[in-house]
Amino acid sequence: MSTHSVESIKADSNRLRGSLLESLADPVTGALREDDQTLIKYHGSYQQDDRDVREERRRQKLEPAYQFMIRTRTPGGVVSPEQWLKLDAVATRYGNHSLRITTRQAFQFHGVIKRELKATMQAINAALIDTLAACGDVNRNVLVAANPLLSSAHAALYADAARTSEHLLPNTRAYYEIWLDEARVAGSGAEDEPIYGERYLPRKFKIGFALPPLNDVDVYANDLGFIGVLDADGDLLGYDVTLGGGMGATHGDAGTYPRLANMAGFIPRAALLDVATAVVTTQRDLGNRTLRKRARFKYTLDDHGLDTVVAEIERRAGVAFQPRRSRPFEHNGDRYGWTEGSDGRWHLTLSLPAGRIADLPGAPHLTALREIARIHAGEFRMTGNQNLIVAGVAADQRARIDAIVQQAGLDAGNRAPTALARAAMACVALPTCGLAMAEAERYLPDFSARLQPLLERYGLAEAPILLRISGCPNGCSRPYLGEIALVGKAPGRYNLMLGADHRGQRLNTLYRENITEPDILAALEPLFARYAADRIRDEGFGDFLHRTGVVALPPYPTHREIPVELHA
C-alpha cells in the first residue's frame, strides 16, 4: 500500500475506528474492508489467510481462508501463571491450539476467524492483557532484558519499560469501544492524541531495554534503546540511550538496509519518559511520510544527520546527553536451564524452537506448561530470543517443575545435540505470514538437523554459533545479527549471510545469493573446517570469518558495527 493511502487512512480513521464495527458485522466475507485491514493492526491484529490452502481454494473459486493473527502487548514478556492459563485457553478455544512467543516477547495467536475475533479479544483482555498498539505505526511491545540473575535490577528495568509502554499508548478509546463494548464517549474522534497526532508515526517504532552484560534484546536493533546503568550497590541509576536501529530491508533496493543504532549518551533514570517522548515526537515530525520504505527512524537519522536529530531530542526533552556509562555486552543469547537469581529464587530457561508452544505427538508442551502454571507461584518471562523462563521458583518447587518438564520433553530444546540448534531463531513465515518468500519456522528443525553432522564432523557440536532464519528480508528474527543467517528469496531459496558477532554489535554480510540447501551446506562445510582448525581460543564463528577475511562488513551506508570498546 502506498504511503499516501496509509497516511490518509490513519488521518481519516476517526482515531483508529474506521469502519471496523461494520467490517466485523459483515457476515458475507471472512475479510475486513480494505482500509480496516490497515487499521486493525493498531488494535494488535493482522488479517491473514492460510497460504497452505490458498491455491486449492482459488481453484475451487472460494475466497481465501481468511483468519487473523493477534499479538499481545506484554512489555518485557512477563505474565503471571493465572494469565498464562487464560491465554492458553484463548489459544485452544479460538486459535490454532498454539501459543507463539515472538522475538519481541509477545504472544501471537494464529488462525482466529473473523466472527470470533471480538470474543477472542475479550478473552485476552479478561486476562488483564491487551493488544493495543502491538502492531501499526506506533510504539510496539517494549523489549526488556529477561536477565534472570540480577533480580532487583531486572525488576526496576521491567517497571520502567512497562511505564514507557503505557505512556506511549495511543490515547484513543476506539479499542475499548470496538472490542470491549465500552460506551462511545461524546465527541470521540476528537480525542486528544498529544504524542502521536492524527497521523500517528510515519512507521512502526520499537523500544528495547537491555542490562549488560546480556544483550538478549539486541538493543542496537531497536529504534530507541535504553541500556541500564547500575550504581555501585546494583541499583538502577539511569540509561545509555541508543537511537536508530532497525533490521528491515527489501531485496534489490539499496535505499533500504539494516542498521545498528547510534549511542546518544547517558540520561538519569528520572529523564526516561521525557526522552522517550522527545524521540517519538521527533520521529513523528521529521520522519519520511512520502516514502514508506524510508519511513523508519533509522532513515530519519541518516537523512537529517545524527547531530541534528540528537539536538532536537535534547531540546524537546530538556535533557543533555552525558558521556556513556554502560558496561560492555558479552552475549545476546539466553542461559538455558536453572539459574539462581540474586534474591535466591530460581529461574528455568527453556529453549523453545522458534517459540512455538503446541501439543505434538510425544511432546505435549502446551499441556505441560498449563500444568506448570497451575502450581507455579512465580511468573513466566518470554525472552527476546523466543524462549521461555519459568521465573521466580522457590528452591523446594524445582523438583515438581522438573518432573513435568522432563515428562513432556519440554527440555528437548535445552538438550538439542548442537549449541547452534539451542540458540537458533526463526520467524513465523509460512503458512500465515503474507510476506513470506520462503519457509522459516517450519524449516528450522530440518536445517538444524542438516547442519548437525557437519558440526559434529569438525568437533563443533558445542560451538555456540548463532543461526537465524527469516522467510523474507524484513528481518523479523533479526537475521542480520546472526553469525549464520538464511534470508528467504523464494521457496527453498535463501541468501546466505555470515559474520555477525555474539553481542548484537555487528551486522552480517551477504555471502551467497539465492541458493538452495545443498549449496548452503556446501558453502558452510569448508568454513566449519577452517574455523575448527584455525580459531583462536573462544573466538566466535563470525569473529573468525572477519579475522580471516572470509567476509567484510556489509556495504550499507551507516552503522554496521558497534565497537566492542564502546561500553568499556
Annotated binding site for [4Fe-4S] cluster: 427, 433, 472, 476
Measured in whole angstroms, the distance separating CA 376 from the mean position of its chain's CA atoms is: 26
Question: CB under 6 A: which stretch of 144-152, 173-181, 446-454, 475-483 binds ligand SRM?
Answer: 475-483
Mask 200-219, x = binds ligand SRM (CB under 6 A)?
Answer: ----x-x-------------
Instruction: Work out what residue 141 binds among ligand SRM, ligand SF4, none; the CB cut-off runs from 5 to 8 Å by kind.
Output: ligand SRM
Instruction: Work out what residue 246 binds among ligand SF4, ligand SRM, none; the CB cut-off runs from 5 to 8 Å by kind.
Output: ligand SRM
- Catalytic pick from 71, 203, 289, 506? 71
Mask 7-36, x = binds ligand SRM (CB under 6 A)?
Answer: ------------------------------
Which ranges constitute the DSSP H helices of 346-394?
365-375
Residue with smaller CB distance to ligand SRM, 271 or 469? 469
Q: Which residue has the cell 523462563?
A: 389
Cell numbers describing residue 181: 463494548
Burial 39-49 (b: 16+ CB within 10 A, else e): bbbbbbbbbbb
Instruction: Work out what residue 215 binds among ligand SRM, ligand SF4, none; the CB cut-off runs from 5 to 8 Å by kind.
Output: none
Burial class of residue 564 in the structure, from the number of CB atoms within 10 Å of its CB (0-12 exposed, 13-18 middle, 19+ buried): middle
Interacting residue with ligand SF4 among 6, 472, 485, 507 (CB under 6 A): 472
Q: Does 433 bind ligand SF4 (CB under 6 A)?
A: yes
Q: Does 368 bind ligand SRM (CB under 6 A)?
A: no
Contact in structure between 228 and 209 (CB atoms under 8 Å): yes
Query: For residues 54 and 168, what is the distance between their CA atoms, to the nearest angstrom?
Result: 38
The Cα angle at residue 400 between residues 402 and 84, in degrees rounded to 5: 85
Helices (H) and strands (E) in the chain, counts: 17, 21
Around Cβ 23, how many Cβ atoms within 10 Å?
Answer: 21
- Catalytic pick from 468, 476, 503, 506? 476
Measured in whole angstroms, the distance separating CA 77 from the mean position of its chain's CA atoms is: 10
Is 476 a catalytic site residue? yes
Query: For residues 243 and 419, what is the distance between their CA atoms, to the nearest angstrom?
Result: 32
Shortest distance, position 276 Cβ to ligand SRM, whole Å: 17
Scan residues 322-351 and list those touching ligand SF4 (CB under 6 A): none
Interacting residue with ligand SF4 among 224, 260, 428, 485 (CB under 6 A): 428
Query: For residues 410 and 440, what is the distance between their CA atoms, to the nearest angstrom?
Result: 21
Shortest distance, position 247 Cβ to ligand SRM, whole Å: 3
Q: Which residues pair with 178 in a beta bridge?
A: none
Is 206 a catalytic site residue? yes
Interacting residue with ligand SF4 among 79, 440, 467, 481 (CB under 6 A): 440
**Which of 248-252's residues contact partners 24+ apart within 8 Å by CB, and which partners?**
248/296, 248/473, 248/474, 248/475, 249/473, 249/474, 249/475, 249/480, 250/293, 250/473, 251/473, 251/489, 251/495
Mask 432-451, x = binds ligand SRM (CB under 6 A)?
Answer: xxxx----------------
Question: CB under 6 A: which stretch of 261-269, 309-317, 335-343, 431-439 binds ligand SRM?
Answer: 431-439
Is 204 a catalytic site residue? yes
Mask 62-81, x = binds ligand SRM (CB under 6 A)?
Answer: -------x-x----------
Shortest distance, position 248 Cβ to ligand SF4, whole Å: 8
Is 135 a catalytic site residue? no
Give CA separation, 272 vs 73, 166, 269, 373, 508, in Å.
20, 13, 6, 34, 31
Q: Does 102 bind ligand SRM (CB under 6 A)?
A: yes
Shortest distance, position 314 Cβ to ligand SRM, whole Å: 24
Which ranges constitute the DSSP H helices of 28-172?
34-39, 54-59, 81-93, 117-126, 151-167
- Catalytic pick from 203, 433, 478, 560? 433
Is 503 a catalytic site residue? no
Start-to-end CA distance of the chain, whole Å, equals 44
Mask 135-154, x = binds ligand SRM (CB under 6 A)?
Answer: -----xx-------------
Query: For residues 74 and 80, what is the distance between their CA atoms, to the nearest angstrom?
Result: 11
Position closest to ligand SRM via CB: 248
Coil, strand or helix at 407? helix
Question: CB under 6 A: which stretch of 336-344, 454-462, 465-473, 520-528 binds ligand SF4?
Answer: 465-473
99, amino acid identity: L
Residue with smaller CB distance to ligand SRM, 106 or 317? 106
Residues that bind ligand SF4 (CB under 6 A): 427-429, 433, 435-436, 440, 470-472, 474-476
Residues that bind ligand SRM (CB under 6 A): 46, 48, 69, 71, 102-104, 106, 108, 140-141, 204, 206, 221, 246-248, 296, 386, 427-428, 432-435, 474-478
Q: Show which residues are catalytic.
A: 71, 140, 204, 206, 427, 433, 472, 476
